[in-house]
Amino acid sequence: MNLLYTLDLLGTAAFAASGALAGVRRNMDLFGVLVLGLVTATGGGTIRDLLLGDTPPFIFKDETYLYLSLCVSVAVFLFHRNIDRFHHPLLYCDAVGLGTFVVIGTSKAIAFHIGFFGSIMMGVMTATAGGMVRDMLSTHVPLVLQREVYASACLAGAALLYLLHFTPLPGNYASLIAALAVIVLRLLAIRYNWSLPRASHNEHAD
Amino acid sequence: MNLLYTLDLLGTAAFAASGALAGVRRNMDLFGVLVLGLVTATGGGTIRDLLLGDTPPFIFKDETYLYLSLCVSVAVFLFHRNIDRFHHPLLYCDAVGLGTFVVIGTSKAIAFHIGFFGSIMMGVMTATAGGMVRDMLSTHVPLVLQREVYASACLAGAALLYLLHFTPLPGNYASLIAALAVIVLRLLAIRYNWSLPRASHNEHAD
Amino acid sequence: MNLLYTLDLLGTAAFAASGALAGVRRNMDLFGVLVLGLVTATGGGTIRDLLLGDTPPFIFKDETYLYLSLCVSVAVFLFHRNIDRFHHPLLYCDAVGLGTFVVIGTSKAIAFHIGFFGSIMMGVMTATAGGMVRDMLSTHVPLVLQREVYASACLAGAALLYLLHFTPLPGNYASLIAALAVIVLRLLAIRYNWSLPRASHNEHAD
At residue A59, the pLDDT reads: 94
Distance CA(C100)–CA(C4), nearest Å, equals 7
Does a structural domain hold residue C110? yes
Q: Is A195 exposed, middle or buried (0-12, 13-18, 19+ CB in 10 A)?
A: middle
Residues with Cβ within 8 Å of C119's Cβ and at least 6 positions away in sequence, in order, are C106, C109, C110, C158, C162
Residue-wise pLDDT for C109-164, tens only, equals: 999 999 999 999 999 999 999 988 888 887 777 766 766 678 888 999 999 999 99
User: Quick check: A32 and C145 CB within 8 A?
Assistant: yes
Who among A50, A151, A206 is closest to B31 (CB)? A151
Alpha carbons B187 and B143: distance in angstroms, whole number: 17
In a domain, A199, yes or no: no
Instruction: Point out the least confidently predicted range of B55-64, B79-88, C92-101, C172-181.
Output: B79-88
Residue A197: inside a domain, yes or no?
no
**Which residues in chain B have Cβ-Cβ distances shorter than 8 Å to C138?**
141, 205
From the list A42, A20, A133, A29, the residue with the least C-alpha distance to C121 is: A42
Cross-strand bridge partners of residue A29: C198
Q: What is the pLDDT along chain B (206 residues), one digit of tens a residue?
A: 588 888 899 989 999 998 998 888 888 888 889 999 999 999 999 999 999 999 899 999 999 999 999 999 999 999 888 777 777 777 888 888 899 999 999 999 999 999 999 999 999 999 999 988 888 887 777 766 766 678 888 999 999 999 998 899 988 899 999 999 999 998 888 888 777 777 665 444 43
- C41 found inside a domain: yes
Q: What is the residue-averaged pLDDT of chain B?
A: 87
Q: What is the pLDDT of residue B151?
A: 85
Mutate one of B12, B24, B26, B27 to test the A interface: name it (highest A CB count within 10 A): B27
Domain assignment of residue B198, yes or no: no
Q: Do C84 and C96 meet the contact criterion of CB atoms below 8 Å apart?
A: no
Question: What stretch of H or E contains C23?
Answer: helix C2-25
Q: How crowded is residue B51: how many other Cβ atoms within 10 Å of its Cβ? A: 24
**Alpha-carbon torsion (A89, A91, A96, A101), positive or negative:** positive
Residue A130 counted as domain residue: yes
Q: How confident is the model at residue C204 (pLDDT cuts 50, 70, 90)?
A: very low
pLDDT in tens, A56-77: 999 999 999 999 999 999 999 9
Cα separation, B192 vs A137, in Å, equals 37
Give the nearest chain B residue to A198 (CA atoms): B29
Facing C195 at nearest CB: one of A29, A33, A66: A29
Subunits close to C (at least 3 CB pairs below 8 A) = A, B
Q: How big is the A-B interface in CB pairs under 8 Å?
A: 87
Q: Which amino acid is at A39?
A: V
Given CB atoms, is A35 within the 8 Å cutoff of chain C?
A: yes
Q: Could you count the other beta carbons within 10 Å of the beta carbon of residue C5?
A: 13
In which band, very low, low, confident or very high, does the pLDDT at A203 lie, cut at 50, 70 and 90? Answer: very low
Identify the CA nearest to B158 among candidates B128, B189, B133. B128
Find the residue in C nearest to A59 (Cα).
Answer: C118
Phi-psi region of C142 (alpha: psi -120 to 50; beta: other; left: phi over 0): beta
Structure confidence at residue A1 as a pLDDT band (50, 70, 90):
low
Closest chain A residue to C110 measured between Cα atoms?
A60
**What is the pLDDT, as a whole number, of residue C206?**
38
**Residue C198: strand, helix, or coil:** strand
A197 and B60 within 8 Å at the Cβ level: the answer is no
Tell me the three-class secondary structure of chain A, residue by residue.
CHHHHHHHHHHHHHHHHHHHHHHHHCCCEHHHHHHHHHHHHHHHHHHHHHHHCCCCCHHHHCCHHHHHHHHHHHHHHHHHHHHHHHHHHHHHHHHHHHHHHHHHHHHHHHHCCCCHHHHHHHHHHHHHHHHHHHHHHCCCCCHHHCCCCHHHHHHHHHHHHHHHCCCCCCHHHHHHHHHHHHHHHHHHHHHHCCCCCECCCCCCCC
By residue range, what is the domain housing residue B85?
2-192
Q: Which residue of A has its CA nearest to B37?
A: A145
Spatial neighbors of C81 by CB under 8 A, at least 6 apart, are: none
What is the SS3 assignment for C48?
Answer: helix
Cβ atoms of B147 and B135 closer than 8 Å:
no
> What confidence score (pLDDT) does residue B43 get?
95
The ipTM, to two decimals, is: 0.84
Question: Using alpha carbons only, what angle is made at residue C155 by residues C153 and C159, rounded to the nearest 5 degrees?
Answer: 120
The pLDDT score that the predictor gives to residue A146 is 67
- At residue B104, the pLDDT reads 94
Mean of the pLDDT values across residues C92-104? 90
Q: Give the pLDDT score at B201.
A: 54
Q: How many residues does chain B have?
A: 206
Residue A202 has pLDDT above 50, yes or no: no
Q: C146 in helix, strand or coil?
A: coil
Res A148: pLDDT: 62
Within a domain: B98: yes
Residue B38 lies in a domain: yes
Q: What is the pLDDT of residue B147?
A: 61
Please report the pLDDT score of residue C205 as a whole number.
Answer: 40
Chain length of chain A: 206
CA–CA min distance A62, chain C (Å): 9
Q: Do A196 and B46 touch (CB under 8 A)?
A: no
Q: Are the Cβ atoms of A144 and B31 closer than 8 angstroms? A: yes
Average pLDDT score over residue span A132-137? 86
Cβ-defined contact of A24 to C112 (cutoff 8 Å): no
Confidence class for position C192, pLDDT limits 50, 70, 90: confident
C112 vs A56, A77, A80: nearest CB: A56
Cβ contact C35–B140 (<8 Å): no
Which residue in chain B is spatially nearest to A51 when comparing CA positions? B56
CB of C183 closer than 8 Å to CB of C101: no
Q: What is the mean pLDDT of chain C?
A: 87
CB-CB under 8 Å, B24 with A117: no
Q: Which chains touch B (3 or more CB pairs under 8 A)?
A: A, C
Upper half-sphere CA count for residue B60 (Cβ side, 13 Å): 22
Mean pLDDT computed over C75-95: 82
CA C158, chain centre distance (Å): 13
Closest residue in B to A140 (Cα) is B139
Single-letter code of the amino acid located at C86: F
| Confidence (pLDDT) at B60 | 94
Phi and psi torsions of C165, nearest 5°: -55, -25
Mean pLDDT across C3-21: 90
Listed by number, the residues of chain B in 187-206 with a beta carbon closer than 8 Å to a beta carbon of chain A are none
pLDDT in the model for residue B146: 66
Identify each DSSP E strand in chain C by its residue range: none
DSSP state of C29: B
Does residue A127 contact residue A154 with C-beta atoms inside 8 Å?
yes
Per DSSP, the residues of chain B read -HHHHHHHHHHHHHHHHHHHHHHHHTT-BHHHHHHHHHHHHHHHHHHHHHHHT--S-HHHH-THHHHHHHHHHHHHHHHGGGGGGGHHHHHHHHHHHHHHHHHHHHHHHHHTT--HHHHHHHHHHHHHHHHHHHHHHTT---GGGTSTTHHHHHHHHHHHHHHHTTSSS-HHHHHHHHHHHHHHHHHHHHHHT----B----SPP-
**Residue A84 pLDDT exceeds 80:** no
Q: Is A91 left (phi over 0), alpha (psi -120 to 50) or beta?
A: alpha
Interchain CB distance below 8 Å, A203 and B30: no
Distance from CA of B121 to the nearest CA of A (A): 20
- In this prediction, residues C77-82 reach a mean pLDDT of 86
Site from B18, B21, B31 to mutate, A interface, most A CB atoms within 10 angstroms = B31
Q: Which amino acid is at B151?
A: A
* Contact flag A28-C121 (C-beta cutoff 8 Å): no
How many independent structural domains does chain B possess? 1
Residues 132-161 of chain A whose Cβ lies under 8 A from any Cβ of chain C: 136-139
Q: Verify whether the Cβ–Cβ distance A140 to B139 is below 8 Å.
A: yes
For A57, the closest chain C residue by CA position comes to: C51
What percent of chain C has pLDDT above 90? 53
Cα separation, B193 vs B85, whole angstroms: 22
**C90 Cβ neighbours under 8 A, 6+ residues apart:** C14, C17, C18, C83
How many angstroms separate the CA atoms of A150 and B48, rounded?
A: 30
